[in-house]
Amino acid sequence: MSSTTASVTKVRTASAGISGDVIFAAAAKAAGIFVLVLLGAIIVSLLIGGMPAFIAFGPGFLTNADWDPVQQIFGGAVPIYGTLLTSVLALAMAVPLAFGIAFWLTELAPVWLRRPVGTAIELLAAVPSIIYGMWGFFMIVPFMSEYFQPIVIDWLGDIPLIGGLFQGPPFGTGVFTASLLLAVMIIPFVAATMRDVFMTVPAVFKESAYGLGCTTWEVMRAIVLPYTRVSVVGGIMLGLGRALGETMAVTFVIGNTNRIATSLFGPGNTIASLVALEFPESPAGSLKLSALLALGFILFVISFIVLAVSRMLLKPRAN
Amino acid sequence: MSATMAASGAARNTAVAEKLANRRRRSNRTVEALCLAATVIGLAFLAMILGTLLYLGMQGLSLSVFTEATKPPGSHGGLLNAIVGSLIQTTIGTLVGTPIGLLVGTYLAEYAQNSRLGNAVRFVSDVLLSAPSILIGLFVYSVLVRPFGGFSGIAGCVALAVIVIPIVVRTTEDMLRLIPVSLREAAVALGAPKWKMIVLICYRAALDGIATGVLLAVARVAGETAPLLFTSLGNLNWSLDITQPMSSLPVTIYQYAGSAFDDWVQLAWVGALLITFGVLAINVVASVVLRPRQ
């Protein structure tokens, strides 16, 4: 690669295309710098927009659970908590399924089925967020309130300690339904990443384990998973990054209440759903709009950290 | 005596080994069954979503959906302005974002490689790829909508372009890196300057891969709702003026699905059917028609 570059440079000086070369290289570099500026501008614009709220409420903005447009008191504790809770719950549901799908697609499925099924799972990621929201609202929510939640409340609601998580009226909407929908949405991302990293395991490693008489599951547990552990966590973090900022699907089904519910079936909100819902009622220049932008800034910081860690873990190994 | 003991010991060992083998076989079968179940669950969700869209969307599908604009509830409107608005914004957004993304991808693959600036650009582009789209909407609102006095189709296009860029960057860089060095050397040996080598040889060789990236970007932004809420806002009247608020399918679906009117909800299902099958068709074309040549 570097030898080509050197030879290209040598030839270039002799050719008539030198001005074209300079222009093209400058344009490419300018475009690269433009992307850096773009990210910087996103961060700065959210920070500036959120400044009035940060100044008015100080660090208490992060811990205050009030959202009171009448008294002009805005705190971000509930949506921040809701964002983290729904995303983590979604991961807890999505990761086992995504692992199963990735394992099946790489080791167990008949070869002729791998591509079509893999494509179908990828299509799950292509369905727009708004469609998940609408489908969740008209299909999952009624199912939850009529069948799933009453049964679970009857069954688990009276158990001490954990029972509190499964109490309350079965509205159908709420934190649990939102997490379930998020889980379906991030399964394809996590499964695709896991499948790709499972395929990087050298065949020799697996064959030697099979040669010793290992079963498929033992090869997965003792060879493939240890070899790909770091990247698998990276893929999970990528799914987490996706879940944190998901807007439309969550807005439809989470119930949109600014209260920390003790029950998983209770309503709540997330940063993204609060911003989407409250934005139309926030006039330009108001403290409320500033509070929304400040929440946007916080969401950006959280997603940035998660995505940065994910990328570091997914970086191909040096050898 | 000792012989019989050895024999019984061997028998015991065989029995233990068999028990162990059975247990391993059983756990293997259990895991295999669970993995199959996971895949079936994943596919079932896709089937349920598509089935619901087909069943409820088909009921409202008629010619008037494509010939009439959105109207007040009860007067049998269509989705024409939303469809046209989506087409306009997706097209302009893609046309603006693609060249920038292409240049960035070229810079990463051909010029920067592993320089510090290159790694920074690559990292930032990957973060943008997965960054919440609602924040891109808020960003464009802050820099374009608020200072220039109002929601507009242009702002919507810009928001979509920002989403297009990192998708095109990723595929362009990946595809350019796959091009063999010998091909580049052949071009350079003929006296081509580097930019001609890139544009005439590398782009052409990577064309189907780059086209896949652009198609995936189109599919992604065509269904985006959150960034448009704060930029092009949506418009229930017929309007082709991109300096004014502009309708789009996803935003119209959002407004109609949450409404209390049955005919609006019905139209929302039709819109959902159109957008989903449009997006899925683009994805299938991208992965089935274009990908195998790589």
* Closest Cα in chain B, distance from residue A160 (Å): 31
Whether A100 and chain B come into contact, CB under 8 Å, resolves to yes
C-alpha B261/C-alpha B255 separation (Å) is 11
Of B100, B224, B276, the CB nearest to A127: B276
Q: Which of A134, A189, A224, A278 to mutate to test the interface with B (most CBs of B within 10 A)?
A: A134
pLDDT at B294 exceeding the cut of 50: no
Q: Is A53 within a domain? A: no
The predicted model gives B262-289 an average pLDDT of: 91
Of A45, A131, A215, the CB nearest to B25: A215
Cβ separation of B275 and A128 shorter than 8 Å?
yes
What is the predicted pLDDT for the residue at A165? Answer: 84
Q: Is the complex ipTM more than 0.90?
A: yes
Cβ separation of B225 and A7 shorter than 8 Å?
no
Whether A128 and chain B come into contact, CB under 8 Å, resolves to yes
pLDDT tens-place string over residues B133-172: 999 999 999 999 988 878 999 999 999 999 999 999 999 9
Cβ separation of A28 and B103 shorter than 8 Å?
yes
Here the tokens at position B14 are 């065989």
pLDDT tens-place string over residues A76-124: 999 999 999 999 999 999 999 999 999 999 999 999 999 899 999 999 9
pLDDT tens-place string over residues B48-57: 999 999 999 9
What burial class does residue A285 get, using C-beta atoms within 10 Å of its C-beta: 0-12 exposed, 13-18 middle, 19+ buried?
exposed
Our count of domains for chain A comes to 1
Mean of pLDDT over chain B: 90
Q: Is A184 within a domain? A: yes
Cβ separation of B193 and A130 shorter than 8 Å?
no
Of A17, A35, A276, the CB nearest to B196: A17
pLDDT tens-place string over residues B178-221: 999 999 999 999 988 899 899 999 999 999 889 999 999 999 99
Q: Is A175 within a domain? A: yes
Between A and B, how many residue pairs show a Cβ–Cβ distance under 8 A? Answer: 286
What is the predicted pLDDT for the residue at B226? Answer: 93
pLDDT tens-place string over residues A151-164: 988 888 888 878 88
The predicted model gives A156-180 an average pLDDT of: 87
What is the predicted pLDDT for the residue at A31? Answer: 96
pLDDT tens-place string over residues A292-319: 999 999 999 999 999 999 998 987 654 3
Q: Is A276 within a domain? A: yes
Q: Is A5 within a domain? A: no
* Closest Cα in chain B, distance from residue A92 (Å): 14
pLDDT tens-place string over residues A125-148: 999 999 999 999 999 999 999 999
What is the predicted pLDDT for the residue at B48? Answer: 96
Whether A12 and chain B come into contact, CB under 8 Å, resolves to yes
Q: Is A112 within a domain? A: yes
Q: Is A238 within a domain? A: yes
pLDDT at A4 exceeding the cut of 80: no
- Here the CATH number for the domain that contains residue A129 is 1.10.3720.10
- Rounded to 10 deg, the angle between the A225-244 and B116-130 helix axes is 60
Reported confidence tier of residue A197, pLDDT bands at 50, 70, 90: very high
Of B28, B135, B222, the CB nearest to A46: B135
- pTM flag (> 0.95): no
What is the predicted pLDDT for the residue at A232? Answer: 94
The predicted model gives A169-198 an average pLDDT of: 94
Mean of pLDDT over chain A: 90
Reported confidence tier of residue A1, pLDDT bands at 50, 70, 90: very low
Cβ separation of A247 and B139 shorter than 8 Å?
no
What is the predicted pLDDT for the residue at A2? Answer: 46
Here the tokens at position B168 are 């095109």
Q: Which of A18, A131, A288 to mutate to test the interface with B (most CBs of B within 10 A)?
A: A131
CATH code, B65-290? 1.10.3720.10
Here the tokens at position A71 are 């008294």
**Residue numbers of the domain that contains A233:** 62-313
Here the tokens at position B183 are 């091909």
